[in-house]
């Protein structure tokens, strides 16, 4: 028996009603390959997201934006790029890889990463009224340049040691350690940020005669865990300046009796006296200048803004010592000339 017209009509009506009930677009979710990613300054990074279940997104509206939708990085609709939003910072630095859109995968590549690229990036897929997105947190890091250590005399038996380095991000963890690996409290820590967002750091520690003279400066990036170190060993002789003051006194006590003995021995020899006078004026600058030059090149003085009191104290001490030495040599030369004048 053949089906009647009414039964055939009812069959098509049922199919039509089922098509109205079943949605035309398949529901989906968006997931990212990583919730957060770390990249170094100057490198490039790829941020990827995936439709689940996998399906073609070539007909969808897809793209990436930064923090807020107004900060659009890249947007495509039906495979064509849409211009709009605040894209100046990413112009000529970003590429949307669409080769895998057929399986629902989209990748954003950012070149020449800078500090200002750090933040949250949203990957979105829109198909009709269905909208889903995934969020990725991008962290930017920079490992600083070579470290520099400067020494600054801060007193009779003290030295201020400064350690500096630039090009860090974020702010590095800074600490001093002694030869046994124990942490030494810092005297000061300062930093400033340049136009590129990179940080320049400086740290100091005051070393005294009764402390460990071997110290290591450690800067550590808190994001990557990378660190840089620089060490310095200060010889004990630098902390014993008082010993040299006693040596000057000893030399003085030796010179005075020596002059008296010289007066007795060479009283009859005027030529010897003239020769000694000429040699004295030649040898004094010849001996003093090399000592000054060695000390000047060995100890480089670098002043921190927070350490001006220490620098002032050091300048006062040095001025006092130089004044005493100048008076000593003036009196010595004057006395020598007066002594020799009586022989001539």
Are the folds of 28-141 and 148-238 the same? yes
- Which of 329 and 105 is assigned the larger pLDDT? 105
Query: Going by CATH, does the domain composed of 28-141 fall within 3.20.20.70?
Result: no
**Per residue in 35-93, pLDDT tens?**
899 999 999 999 999 999 999 999 999 999 998 777 889 899 888 887 655 567 888 89
| Mutual angle of helices 270-298 and 308-341, in 10-degree steps | 170
Domain layout of the chain by residue ranges = 28-141, 148-238, 239-341
User: pLDDT at position 232, please?
Assistant: 84
DSSP code per residue over 271-294: HHHHHHHHHHHHHHHHHHHHHHHH
Q: Please determine, for residue 206, whether its predicted confidence score (pLDDT) is greater than 80.
A: yes
User: pLDDT at position 20, please?
Assistant: 43
Which residue carries 């460990």 as its tokens?
212
Whether the upstream peptide bond of residue 53 has omega within 30° of 0, thus cis, is yes
Q: Please determine, for residue 264, whether its predicted confidence score (pLDDT) is greater than 50.
A: yes
Q: Please determine, for residue 247, whether its predicted confidence score (pLDDT) is greater than 50.
A: yes
**Per residue in 307-325, pLDDT tens?**
444 444 555 556 566 666 7
User: pLDDT at position 265, please?
Assistant: 60
Fold of 148-238: Immunoglobulin-like (2.60.40)
Sheet holding 214-220, edge to edge: 183-184, 173-178, 214-220, 227-233
Instruction: Taking residues 121-141, report their average pLDDT.
Output: 94
User: pLDDT at position 19, please?
Assistant: 45
| Mutual angle of helices 308-341 and 241-265, in 10-degree steps | 10
pTM above 0.85, yes or no: no
Q: Please determine, for residue 8, whether its predicted confidence score (pLDDT) is greater than 50.
A: no
- Which of 304 and 120 is assigned the larger pLDDT? 120
The answer to whether 343 and 273 have CB atoms below 8 angstroms apart is: yes
**Per residue in 228-238, pLDDT tens?**
999 887 765 55
């Amino acid at each position: 028996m053949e089906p009647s017209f009414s039964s055939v009509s009812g069959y098509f009506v049922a199919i039509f009603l089922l098509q109205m009930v079943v949605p035309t677009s398949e529901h989906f979710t968006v997931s990212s390959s990583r919730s957060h990613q770390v990249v170094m300054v100057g490198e490039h990074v790829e941020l990827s997201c995936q439709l689940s279940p996998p399906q073609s997104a070539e007909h969808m509206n897809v793209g990436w934006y930064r923090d807020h939708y107004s900060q659009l990085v890249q947007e495509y609709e039906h495979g064509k790029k849409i211009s709009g939003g605040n894209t100046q910072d990413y112009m000529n630095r970003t590429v949307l890889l669409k080769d895998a859109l057929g399986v629902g995968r989209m990748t954003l590549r950012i070149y020449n990463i800078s500090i200002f690229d750090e933040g949250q990036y949203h990957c979105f897929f829109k198909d009709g009224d269905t909208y889903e997105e995934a969020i990725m947190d991008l962290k930017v890091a920079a490992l600083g340049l070579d470290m520099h250590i400067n020494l600054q005399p801060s007193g009779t038996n003290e030295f201020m040691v400064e350690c500096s380095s630039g090009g860090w991000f974020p702010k590095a963890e800074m600490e001093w350690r002694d030869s046994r690996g124990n942490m030494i409290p810092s005297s000061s820590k300062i930093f400033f940020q340049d136009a590129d967002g990179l940080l320049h750091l400086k740290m100091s520690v005051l070393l005294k005669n009764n402390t460990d003279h071997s110290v290591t400066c450690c800067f550590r990036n808190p994001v990557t865990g990378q660190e840089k170190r620089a060490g310095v060993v200060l010889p004990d002789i630098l902390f014993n300046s008082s010993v040299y003051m006693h040596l000057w006194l000893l030399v003085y006590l030796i010179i005075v009796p020596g002059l008296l003995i010289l007066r007795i021995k060479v009283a009859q020899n005027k030529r010897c006296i003239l020769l000694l006078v000429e040699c004295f004026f030649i040898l004094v600058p010849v001996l003093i200048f090399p000592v000054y030059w060695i000390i000047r090149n060995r100890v480089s003085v670098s002043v921190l803004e927070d350490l001006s009191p220490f620098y002032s104290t050091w300048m006062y001490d040095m001025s006092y010592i130089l004044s005493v030495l100048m008076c000593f040599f003036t009196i010595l030369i004057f006395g020598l000339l007066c002594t020799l004048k009586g022989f001539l």
